[in-house]
């Protein structure tokens, strides 16, 4: 069967071959394999299935059909409140499954750590496109529930200077927070700022160390844009805090 490159991804060498995705092995392959196996054993369908390795030593993952929201302009259903509610419940679902599990290593849960539209599969469930699964689990690690919720608020709501309506965005933060059922409400924006600072520093440090992908990101202005988003959230954090 003919292989075809996967659109929208940041990793090179990722191809689709029929109902499977083949990709170069991840340095953290054993952890990711254990996590995806846990999801499969528990019957959770919000992540790809791990299917071993091929003759070239590449990892094989099950292909998840649907709409992956990696392009800047998306259908209205992708950004609707109903999709945000479904998103939050999906996050809560895998968090609850990993709480107390071996991969959590004593932490609260296992976090995806890169929740974003580009890593989300949407399908029409009869009421328009809704998120049904997350892909690209390479950065997953033990962590806190609020970390993934905060990252989702940043990425799915575009927290930064392009926001045109601060009050509406604060309301939508509340939609995600409440649909998840997060108790640590006051901590969400603190963690958004933590993520943004970590991302900017990571790009700059990786580029300085010679990582080609991070050099491209830095040279494209990504670190500068993340820095601008951090400054914007800091300046608007009190207006962005939804009522308890």
**Mean pLDDT, 10 residues at a time, the chain of 244 residues:** 58 80 89 96 97 92 94 93 98 98 97 97 95 96 97 98 97 96 81 97 97 94 97 96 71
Interval 91-146: pLDDT, tens: 999 999 999 999 999 999 999 999 999 999 999 989 999 999 999 999 999 999 99
CA dihedral 166, 194, 131, 34 (to 10 degrees): -170
Q: Which of 62, 83, 99 is the last residue of a domain?
A: 62
Q: What is the pLDDT of residue 13?
A: 77
pLDDT at 5: 65
Could you say which DSSP state residue 6 is in? P
Instruction: Answer yes or no: do 159 and 206 share one domain.
Output: yes
Which of 62, 77, 106 is the last residue in one of the domains?
Answer: 62
Quick one: 22 and 106 in the same domain?
no
Residue 110 sits in the same domain as residue 16: no
Is 20 found in the same domain as 34?
A: yes
- Which domain CATH number covers 147? 3.90.1200.10
pLDDT at 187: 87
Task: Let me know: does 49 contact 62? Beta carbons within 8 Å.
Answer: yes
> Which residues span the domain enclosing 220?
67-240
Residue written as tokens 């609020």?
146
Cβ–Cβ < 8 Å for 159, 193: no
43 and 72 part of one domain: no
Q: Which of 37, 62, 87 is at the close of a domain?
A: 62
Q: What secondary structure does DSSP assign to 38-49, as a single string?
A: HHHHTT--SSPP
DSSP readout, 208-222?
A: HTT-HHHHHHHHTTH
Beta-strand runs (E) in 42-134? 50-53, 59-62, 67-68, 109-111, 120-124, 129-134
111 and 177 housed in the same domain: yes
Same domain for 75 and 54, yes or no, is: no
Q: Do 228 and 186 belong together in one domain?
A: yes
Do 125 and 234 lie in one domain? The reply is yes
Task: State the pLDDT at residue 3.
Answer: 59
* pLDDT at residue number 111: 98
Residue 20 bridge partners (DSSP): 17, 62
The answer to whether 68 touches 81, Cβ cutoff 8 Å, is no
Task: Please count the structural domains in the chain.
Answer: 2
Same domain, yes or no: 18 and 112: no
Q: For residue 183, what pLDDT is reported?
A: 80
């Amino acid at each position: 069967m003919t292989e075809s490159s996967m659109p929208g991804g940041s990793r090179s060498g990722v191809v689709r071959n029929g109902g499977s995705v083949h990709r170069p092995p991840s340095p953290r392959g054993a952890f990711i394999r254990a996590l995806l196996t846990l999801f499969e054993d528990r019957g959770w369908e919000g992540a790809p299935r791990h299917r071993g390795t091929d003759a070239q030593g590449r990892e094989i993952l099950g292909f998840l059909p649907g709409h992956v929201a990696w392009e800047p302009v998306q259908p209205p259903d992708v950004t609707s409140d109903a999709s945000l509610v479904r998103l939050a419940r999906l996050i809560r679902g895998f968090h609850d499954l990993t709480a107390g599990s071996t991969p959590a290593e004593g932490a609260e849960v296992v976090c995806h750590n890169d929740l974003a539209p580009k890593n989300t599969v949407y399908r029409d469930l009869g009421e328009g496109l809704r998120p049904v699964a997350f892909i690209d689990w390479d950065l997953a690690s033990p962590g806190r529930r609020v970390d993934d919720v905060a990252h989702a608020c940043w990425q799915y709501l575009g927290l930064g200077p392009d926001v045109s309506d601060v009050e509406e965005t604060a309301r939508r933060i509340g939609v995600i927070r409440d649909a998840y059922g997060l108790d640590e409400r006051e901590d969400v924006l603190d963690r958004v700022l933590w993520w943004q600072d970590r991302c900017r520093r990571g790009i700059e440090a990786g580029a300085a160390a010679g990582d080609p992908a991070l050099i491209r990101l830095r040279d494209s202005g990504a670190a500068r844009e993340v820095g601008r988003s951090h400054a914007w959230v800091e300046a608007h954090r009190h207006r962005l805090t939804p009522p308890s």
